[in-house]
């Protein structure tokens, strides 16, 4: 959700409409760091003296995907919402390397550069996978982990839906044309909310058309299926089993990506893991039901 929507609805008005609670109308600062020979952009919200919370977006998204969440937690936390490699305003990988292990190295370097300690880590989808990969390998850094609709395995039908969405023609005449496309993919979302959010994930081309603001290689045919390699899946389960921090798995009750049995299996295999099901939400949990997501995470953090 951008700060000002085209129809005059501010981020703060939109957040109140969907039940997001916050005390102050925080405005994020756009910042960047140079690590691993790449520039990484991020949005920082809240008081820098507060405990840190790092947010990792999903595939084909960017830091503004977390605006409602960042606003609701900025009263209590220093929020770092990262544009991961190949997304948003961060650099693209010149070698096309977007593996979980490489993205883990990115997060490690950024955390060190920013001097973060004992922080809350939260990630959706691809960002959720990256979050538990990092937390498993850096147990002394993460105070609490929230994995949002992500796991070592995903439902084939859901992957197909995403693949069909991202592999469409990626140059359209207007932002509204992309809004129409998103509505067809996710009819649960309000069109005004979609427009306010998607504008941050698009850029205008010299020819006047609009396209996505992430590396084109990520939407190349067949790339998503390679992420389901059995060896990689096995490694990801291993990361979950080695987690040492308090962990919450959040699943949308209408998710077509994380199956119920997968979420249950994750809780069985994550030491002390907890599960929260957010009603009236699909894969994009915090966008589909922001207030329900906020309540689930607030309850968990309060127990840590």
Condensed to tens digits (0 to 9), the pLDDT of residues 92-107 reads 999 999 988 899 999 9
Are 20 and 94 within 8 A, CB to CB? no
DSSP character string of 63-120: GGGGHHHHHHHTTTSEEEEE--TTBTTSPPPTT----HHHHHHHHHHHHHHHT--SEE
C-alpha to C-alpha distance for 257 and 254, rounded to whole angstroms? 9
How far are the Cα atoms of 61, 214, 288 from residue 94, in angstroms, in the given order? 19, 13, 34
- Copy the structure tokens of residue 62: 């960017």
Mean pLDDT of all residues in 24-35: 97
C-alpha to C-alpha distance for 291 and 251, rounded to whole angstroms? 14
Closest C-alpha to 301, from 88, 51, 42: 51
Instruction: Give the pLDDT band (50/70/90) at residue 164.
Output: confident
Mean pLDDT of all residues in the chain? 92
Mean pLDDT of all residues in 186-194: 78
What is the dihedral angle through the alpha carbons of 90, 91, 97, 99, rounded to the nearest 10 degrees? -10
Mean pLDDT of all residues in 237-242: 96
Q: Is the pLDDT of residue 223 over 70?
A: no
Instruction: Give the pLDDT band (50/70/90) at residue 157.
Output: confident
Are 296 and 248 within 8 A, CB to CB? yes
What pLDDT, on a 0 to 100 scale, did the predictor assign at position 137? 95
- Copy the structure tokens of residue 140: 């002394």
What is the dihedral angle through the alpha carbons of 46, 48, 51, 56, rounded to the nearest 10 degrees? 60
C-alpha to C-alpha distance for 70 and 27, rounded to whole angstroms? 10
Of 3.40.47.10, 3.40.50.10800, 3.40.50.460, 3.40.50.1820, the CATH number of 11-155+228-303 is 3.40.50.1820
Bridge-based pairing state of the strands 119-124 and 52-56: parallel
The residue that leads in pLDDT, 227 or 259, is 259
Domain boundaries, the chain: 11-155+228-303
Write down the residue that tokens 């109140």 correspond to: 16
Closest C-alpha to 165, from 132, 187, 143, 192: 187
Q: Is the pLDDT of residue 8 over 80?
A: no
C-alpha to C-alpha distance for 114 and 144, rounded to whole angstroms? 18
Are 275 and 267 within 8 A, CB to CB? yes
Are 106 and 80 within 8 A, CB to CB? no
């Amino acid at each position: 959700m951008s700060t000002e929507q085209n129809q005059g609805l501010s981020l703060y008005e939109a957040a109140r409409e969907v039940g997001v609670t916050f005390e102050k109308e925080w405005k994020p600062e756009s910042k960047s760091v140079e690590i691993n020979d790449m520039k990484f952009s991020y949005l920082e919200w809240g008081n820098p003296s507060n405990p840190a919370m790092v947010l990792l977006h999903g595939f084909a998204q960017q830091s503004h995907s977390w605006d409602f969440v960042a606003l609701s937690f900025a009263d209590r936390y220093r929020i770092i919402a990262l544009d991961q490699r190949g997304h948003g305003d961060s650099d693209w990988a010149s070698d096309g390397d977007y593996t979980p292990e490489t993205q883990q190295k990115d997060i490690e370097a950024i955390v060190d550069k920013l001097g973060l300690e004992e922080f809350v880590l939260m990630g959706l989808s691809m960002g959720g996978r990256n979050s538990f990969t990092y937390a498993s390998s850096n147990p002394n850094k993460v105070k609490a982990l929230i994995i949002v609709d992500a796991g070592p395995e995903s439902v084939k039908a859901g992957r197909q839906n995403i693949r069909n969405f991202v592999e469409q023609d990626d140059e359209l005449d207007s932002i509204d044309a992309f809004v129409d496309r998103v509505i067809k993919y996710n009819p649960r979302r309000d069109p005004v909310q979609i427009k306010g959010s998607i504008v941050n994930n698009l850029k205008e081309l010299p020819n006047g058309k609009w396209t996505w603001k992430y590396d084109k290689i990520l939407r190349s045919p067949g790339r998503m299926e390679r992420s389901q390699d059995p060896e990689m899946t096995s490694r990801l389960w291993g990361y979950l089993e080695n987690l040492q921090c308090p962990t919450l798995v959040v699943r949308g009750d209408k998710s077509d990506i994380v199956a119920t049995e997968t979420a249950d299996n994750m809780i069985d295999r994550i030491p002390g893991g907890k599960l929260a099901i957010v009603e009236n939400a699909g894969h994009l949990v915090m966008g589909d039901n922001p207030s329900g997501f906020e309540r689930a995470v607030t309850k968990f953090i309060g127990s840590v």
